[in-house]
């Protein structure tokens, strides 16, 4: 378009990794059907120069592998619909997907997502696993490009049942990768799901996720499943199913292992949603470390974690703040942490929320030896 030749790695990074749709020089929009054209003349000139200067230690530049064409990728994706070619085609697609982002982008444009969905659903219907590992691996490899997918991942509700089936495989080592990839696929589906589809999720869906969190998979898989739960939290029926599946207890157990920052933020975000109901708060309070683990995360993880943890404490104090609960907060240091929030460099709305909690329950806490009365009085003014 501009007459300029670029090295392949740089132009592929510009187009396929950063998803730019303009010329890097002219800034003009690129045609939607544009493709990369190798500059064979320039390559020959470079090779000739290398040959002439070989006496000076200049080696020939290896001839690069010809880039994959969109037409070839389209034919491979079409082969996925042919039962006798499916497994072999999946293996070919997986091999070329790991080469570069251009190949992945071509696959998504050719309709790979829809083909993979129906292959996974077919495996579920037939209770067969041949090719399933390759299909889920491909789904994982193209996860960063799913925003380009025009067909909604959530149009077929059976994909959720199929991926839930994969999560139920036994704990054998060779099934861990399958579960992790299934978790990422569920994350992609629930991110695009509408409220109608979220309302159709069955209790077994959440029971299976909670079981996997209990048994454990990789950190990436855990985070993907936590995203799935968080994506479904807006639906009240789903929150009930989560609570009945024992999600609150398992989330606290998971948080007790002191996970990485992102995991803590996800857990606290989910617990905030679940503590909006009486049953969710009851489950948290029934766990011996429920209040303590929320308290310990305040000022110890991130601003996001502070926000979610203080909102959880606020919900508990407002709707489940019995004398026993308030005394527990004194014992585990919640009141002291709230006072520290007022001293720390926190957002003003968090300080307001902490001050509100302290002021509301000051009559219970003021006589405790665990906190200095003048200090408490100064903070709640």
DSSP states of 207-257: HHHHHHHHH---HHHHHHHHHHHHHHTTSHHHHHHHHHTTHHHHHHHHHHT
pLDDT score recorded for residue 229: 98
Residue 150 has pLDDT above 60, yes or no: no
Residue 32 has pLDDT above 70, yes or no: no
Residue 380 has pLDDT above 60, yes or no: no
pLDDT band at 157 (very low <50, low <70, confident <90, very high): confident
Residue 111 has pLDDT above 70, yes or no: yes
Residue 245 has pLDDT above 70, yes or no: yes
pLDDT greater at residue 14 or residue 320? 320
pLDDT score recorded for residue 174: 65
Distance between CA atoms of residues 345 and 273, nearest Å: 26
Helix (H, G, I), strand (E, B) or coil at 29: strand
Mean of the pLDDT values across residues 246-250? 97
pLDDT score recorded for residue 46: 79
Residue % of the chain over a pLDDT of 90: 57
Q: How far, in Å, are 96, 253, 293, 306 from residue 375 at the CA level?
A: 65, 34, 24, 22
pLDDT band at 271 (very low <50, low <70, confident <90, very high): very high
pLDDT score recorded for residue 140: 93
pLDDT band at 349 (very low <50, low <70, confident <90, very high): very high
pLDDT greater at residue 172 or residue 319? 319
Mean of the pLDDT values across residues 200-211? 95
Residue 97 has pLDDT above 70, yes or no: yes
Residue 298 has pLDDT above 70, yes or no: yes
Task: Return mean pLDDT, the chain.
Answer: 87
Choice among 25-39, 86-100, 166-180, 353-367 with the minimum mean pLDDT? 25-39
Distance between CA atoms of residues 170 and 182, nearest Å: 14
Residue 16 has pLDDT above 70, yes or no: no
Mean of the pLDDT values across residues 88-105? 90
pLDDT band at 146 (very low <50, low <70, confident <90, very high): confident
Per-residue tokens: 190: 């629930």
pLDDT score recorded for residue 172: 54
């Amino acid at each position: 378009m501009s007459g300029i030749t670029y090295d392949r790695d740089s132009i592929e990074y510009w187009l396929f990794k950063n998803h730019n749709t303009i010329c890097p020089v002219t800034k003009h929009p690129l045609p939607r059907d544009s493709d990369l054209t190798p500059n064979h003349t320039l390559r020959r000139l470079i090779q000739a120069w290398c040959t002439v200067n070989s006496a000076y230690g200049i080696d020939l530049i290896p001839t690069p592998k010809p880039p994959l064409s969109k037409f070839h990728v389209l034919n491979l994706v079409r082969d996925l619909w042919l039962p006798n070619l499916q497994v072999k085609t999946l293996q070919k697609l997986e091999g070329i997907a790991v080469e570069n982002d251009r190949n992945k982008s071509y696959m998504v444009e050719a309709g790979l997502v829809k083909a993979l969905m129906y292959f996974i659903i077919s495996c579920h219907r037939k209770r067969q696993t041949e090719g399933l590992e390759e299909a889920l691996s491909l789904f994982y490899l193209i996860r960063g490009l799913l925003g380009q997918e025009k067909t909604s991942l959530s149009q077929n509700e059976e994909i959720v049942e199929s991926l839930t089936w994969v999560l139920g495989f036994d704990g054998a080592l060779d099934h861990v990768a399958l579960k992790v990839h299934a978790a990422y696929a569920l994350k992609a589906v629930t991110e695009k799901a509408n409220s109608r589809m979220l309302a159709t999720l069955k209790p077994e869906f959440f029971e299976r996720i909670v079981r996997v969190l209990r048994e454990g998979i990789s950190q990436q898989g855990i985070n993907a499943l936590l995203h799935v739960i968080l994506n479904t939290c807006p639906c009240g029926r789903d929150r009930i199913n989560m609570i009945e599946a024992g999600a609150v207890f398992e989330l606290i157990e998971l948080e007790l292992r002191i996970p990485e920052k992102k995991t803590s933020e996800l857990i606290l975000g989910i617990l905030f949603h679940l503590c909006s109901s009486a049953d969710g708060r009851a489950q948290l309070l029934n766990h011996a470390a429920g209040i303590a683990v929320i308290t310990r995360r305040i000022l110890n993880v991130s601003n996001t974690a502070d926000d979610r943890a203080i909102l959880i404490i606020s919900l508990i104090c407002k709707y489940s703040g019995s004398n026993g609960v308030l005394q527990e907060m004194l014992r585990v240091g919640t009141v002291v942490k709230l006072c520290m929030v007022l001293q720390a460099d926190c957002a003003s709305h968090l300080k307001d929320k902490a001050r509100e909690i302290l002021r509301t329950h000051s009559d219970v806490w003021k006589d405790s030896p665990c906190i200095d009365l003048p200090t408490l009085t100064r903070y709640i003014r």
